[in-house]
Structure 1
């Protein structure tokens, strides 16, 4: 008997990032590894540092080897964070750091002393001359300003240190925003700002799917029982958002397109046009991908049986569910890895 081979289907752009980790996709093109160095100053903000690092680690989880990261200290000594955690940097500050780094992040903190040694100033200047992108966390922007590297740039710094930076960087636009990206200068004034700063930086380097995949993992990884929330980062018009919310609320018993149109106060043709123009797909395709994505999450993060999952996600039979699941992920739902303890 000839075996039927299920043709692999690609998720549409709206749902691609949420499933990037599970489809075996590695990106449209090979990119050179981006090298990131974190310069840890005494009493640096550990939350800001870990938020920034988390983005990079998660990106590598989705696409292994995309980034490399290392820590740097002013000397070979251990560095104490603001929370008292001691970290021994991978290397000490030297001129060579400018030759193998694409992004150098100066990690400061609330109690980090605003005092820059000549070696740090010269290293930052040399990095700028070589075209290294420079960043500062918490009051890290002050050190960039002290090196004269923020002239003509907008930058963010913790409000406590804003006057000090404004005093030494008079040609800079100093703000207390959560984060600011201005060309090759990245600055953040808080841990949340550090998170979004690095995420925004990656947006400029890689495709939308990678960014959405990172957001999806970090937004939902802590939950054992999940309900998909595709509108969290979905940039669509209010009318289309209303239709998507109807889909989210009706996974177990999917609505017909005519019902979606009526309940949202639109015509069928209007709904189809909204999906095509804003998401590049059809309502039916998006609805199916939404249900398949939720099915994957339930299989991974709950103890529900395969039968319970397929019913919860509106599939009419085990064979239909298995065929759809295999077409997107390349394996049957019975082979899905359970991630719960």
Structure 2
């Protein structure tokens, strides 16, 4: 199969190969990394020449395991790079542990030298911890957004699949790496090249930085009822200070009893129960992804007292918040 294309004038921007430096952190997410790397490989193939190069580096310069357990051989340690390099930090689970003092110091040095630094999946946390997202717009995987907001309230966090703000690139994880790379390829080589790469990936819906990462509320809950979706969105936006069912019902021109019947019919639970589950899910994310005390987690999720929080948590998850955090520590 001949998949080369005739390059447009925009493709002349790269007169020599552009190098990407992938920094693989322990327990990095394989999908996010592979999606980004293979986009570059395919671009070379489609162009019929070496337009992109890449290396894999990491602390120690030896080997590193992804979250699926596969071991990767690194090309080098955290070395000084060329100013033309684009750095992509690849994160995954336990990103707090992977964000070491050595990594932070290295990222700050490279940023001071003017390099473009980006993050794949949860590595936005590492950039933020190093102070490299201060005053910037950013994104991170939706599961980590609650903890990110608690840790870095000064950063403008979005729900976009990726964000490019100056020399800082952040992605939401998963296939959003493809969207970021196609955007960069389009900038370097033109839209025709980016579209050709997407075709090779069987990727027929290229997303922009205006697209959000999660499915719409109706799609997620499997129900297309506008008033139900509106109420759930209000619940999700008001976790720390829960809204009463009466006020929620009034907001969609319904009585409390009508709202109750609506939830029973479509979700087989009461509005109060559904709201509680949302709050407990948020609490579980904070327990696992932040160093917030259990008391502060309880307050952030709308519980007036730690004892009430612990009772509700145990009823839903069959364990206490303290045991949950202890059992999660050290897991890949």
TM-score tier, shorter chain, comes to 0.5 to 0.7
Distance in 1, matches of 2:51 and 2:119, equals 22
Q: How many residues align?
A: 203
8 Å CA contact 1:20–1:209 kept in 2: the answer is: no
Q: Does structure 1 residue 76 correspond to structure 2 residue 61?
A: yes
Which one scores higher on RCO, CA 8 angstroms, separation ≥ 6?
1
Which among 140, 147, 158 is matched to residue 175 of structure 1? 158
8 Å CA contact 1:45–1:109 kept in 2: the answer is: yes
Q: CA deviation at 1:181?
A: 1.8
Q: How does 1:1-341 map to 2 (within 5 A)?
A: 21-23=4-6, 27-28=11-12, 31-63=15-47, 64-94=49-79, 96-97=80-81, 99=82, 102-219=85-202
SS in 2 for 1:71: strand
8 Å CA contact 1:72–1:90 kept in 2: the answer is: yes
The 1:129/1:24 distance shift into structure 2, 3 A limit, reads closer
Q: CA deviation at 1:62?
A: 2.2
TM-score by length of 1: 0.54
The 1:30/1:114 distance shift into structure 2, 3 A limit, reads closer
SS in 2 for 1:21: coil
Q: CA deviation at 1:25?
A: 7.7
SS in 2 for 1:171: coil
Distance in 1, matches of 2:6 and 2:137, equals 39
SS in 2 for 1:205: helix
Distance in 1, matches of 2:125 and 2:164, equals 15
Distance in 2, matches of 1:109 and 1:146, equals 15
**1:54-78 superposed Cα distances (whole Å, 9 cap, x missing partner):** 1111111123221111101111331
Distance in 2, matches of 1:30 and 1:156, equals 28
Distance in 2, matches of 1:74 and 1:135, equals 17
SS in 2 for 1:36: strand
**1:33-88 superposed Cα distances (whole Å, 9 cap, x missing partner):** 21100000111000110000111111111232211111011113311111111101
8 Å CA contact 2:95–2:125 kept in 1: the answer is: no
TM-score by length of 2: 0.56
Distance in 2, matches of 1:43 and 1:179, equals 21
Q: CA deviation at 1:101?
A: 5.1
SS in 1 for 2:69: coil
8 Å CA contact 1:43–1:80 kept in 2: the answer is: yes
Distance in 1, matches of 2:152 and 2:56, equals 27
Structure 1: runs of 5+ lacking an equivalent: 1-18, 221-228, 234-341
Q: CA deviation at 1:109?
A: 0.8
Q: CA deviation at 1:126?
A: 1.6
Distance in 2, matches of 1:81 and 1:101, equals 27
Distance in 2, matches of 1:166 and 1:190, equals 17
Aligned-residue CA RMSD in angstroms? Answer: 2.5
Q: CA deviation at 1:31?
A: 2.2
Higher CA-based Rg: 1
SS in 2 for 1:106: strand
